[in-house]
Chains A and B, each alone.
Chain A
Amino acid sequence: MSKSNKKTIIVLLLIVVVIAMVPLFTLKGAEFGGSDDAGSQAISEITGTDYQPWFTPVLETWIGGKLPAEIESLMFSLQTGLGAGVLFFFLGRYVERNKWQKKMCDKEAESPDSLN
């Protein structure tokens, strides 16, 4: 990867960290609940009654209760972990392949006859 690309990536990632972290530090005492939950509150406001969902998530039916917050975060980490594992495993292979191919090309350039 070229140097300018590396720099671009670092700057971009820093911007991401800033955008994600600023609300956490500026909005002191905010709840940071899920916006999906905010959606269900809006439904209750529109229909005027406390909305009762007609179906409960299968996992909650299986364990017979609400999914504990700790377990939910475990599942979310699992999702992130699986994704990151697959994505960076293959990316790592590509990086190594490029190194290896470059080496082969250099060798070929040095002694073109040796390969024939």
Chain B
Amino acid sequence: MKLSEKRIITLVAAFALAFGVYPVANAMHIMEGYLPVQYCIVWGIVCLPFLVRGYFSIKKAVSQNRKSITLFAMVGAYIFIISSLKIPSVTGSCSHMTGTGLGAILFGPTAVSILGLIVLIFQAILLAHGGLTTLGANTFSMAIAGPLVSYGIYILCKKVKVNKRVGIFLAASIGDLFTYCVTSFQLAAAYPSDNGGITASFLKFLGVFAPTQIPLAIIEGILTVVIMIMLESYATSELIDIGYMKGEINNVKVK
């Protein structure tokens, strides 16, 4: 990362810290107009440093290797597919997955934030799903907090040498679940219950989202493993280029 880029990120981060009310970086789709104005603004500002860092990390990856832009497009496309599928769940209601785990594993957590933002803007404008006023909050939960957790779990699994596919599964599914935890928190912070405050509200919202999301998180984990198996078999040289795979595995002829 260049010095000037570092400066911009620090500046934006300082700006976010100064204005961000919630020090706990906790907080899927909150509907248009369902979050009071001040919360919309706060969540929007909290997202900025991540988005800026994400923009620079994509720029860096693409300038180092132009071919990695194809993988970016594929990761973005994967989020498009996965977040458009509404799947019936055990609670009798439907929900959809986030799809951001794959990108977090391949490119790191901040690069995905830009891809997630694109999907959220698409859904907010054309599908009347999520919303422009709640864009900041939704971006934070789906495109920032979820991927951060996915990435953390993936790295952790790698460190303790868990089977790679199990690691990918855990990273994608827990990241998906965490997205909904953050959403519950965002709603709870805006609508604390009269008796019990934020905690009671949080548990209530979590009670709405979590049971629906658990089976879906498992599906997302499985689908992410499937896509990774395909990429590992057919896009080996690209995965080596972005540093996901090491080059020694009989890929001399592929390179």
Q: Which residues of A contact B (CB under 8 A)?
A: 1-2, 5, 8-9, 12-13, 15-16, 19-24, 27, 30-43, 45-48, 51, 53-60, 67, 72, 75-80, 82-87, 90-91, 94-95, 97-98, 101, 105
Contact = CB atoms under 8 A, between A and B. Distances in A.
A33 B93 CA distance: 5
Contacts of A20: 87-88, 215, 219
Given A34-B86, A53-B34, A55-B131, A83 B29 contact: no
A13 B226 CA distance: 8
Nearest to A45: B204
13 contacts: A1-B229, A9-B229, A30-B92, A51-B34, A56-B32, A58-B125, A59-B125, A75-B127, A83-B77, A83-B78, A83-B79, A86-B80, A101-B253
A33 B86 CA distance: 10
Contacts of B147: none
B137 to A, nearest CB: 12
The 5 closest A-B pairs by CB, nearest first: A83-B80, A53-B33, A30-B92, A55-B33, A83-B81
A13 B94 CA distance: 20
Mostly helix, strand, loop or mixed at chain A's interface? helix
Of the candidates A5, A15, A55, the one having the most CB atoms from chain B within 10 angstroms of its own CB is: A55
Nearest to B192: A46
A14 B215 CA distance: 14
Interface in B204-247: 204-205, 208-209, 212-213, 215, 218-219, 222-223, 225-226, 229-231, 233-235, 238
A32 B88 contact: yes
B233 A31 contact: no
B187 interface: yes
Contacts of B219: 16, 19-20
B191 interface: yes
B222 A15 contact: yes
Interface string B116-160: 000000111111111111000000000000000000000000000
Contact of B31 (A22, A36, A94): A36
Contacts of B231: 91
Given A23-B92, A38-B93, A57 B32 contact: yes
Contacts of A23: 88-90, 92, 215
Contacts of A5: 229, 233
Contacts of B223: 12, 16
Given A39-B183, A72-B128, A91-B234, 9 more contacts: A2-B233, A31-B92, A31-B93, A43-B34, A43-B191, A48-B194, A83-B82, A87-B81, A90-B77
A19 B34 contact: no
Contacts of B235: 91, 94
Contacts of B32: 53, 55-57
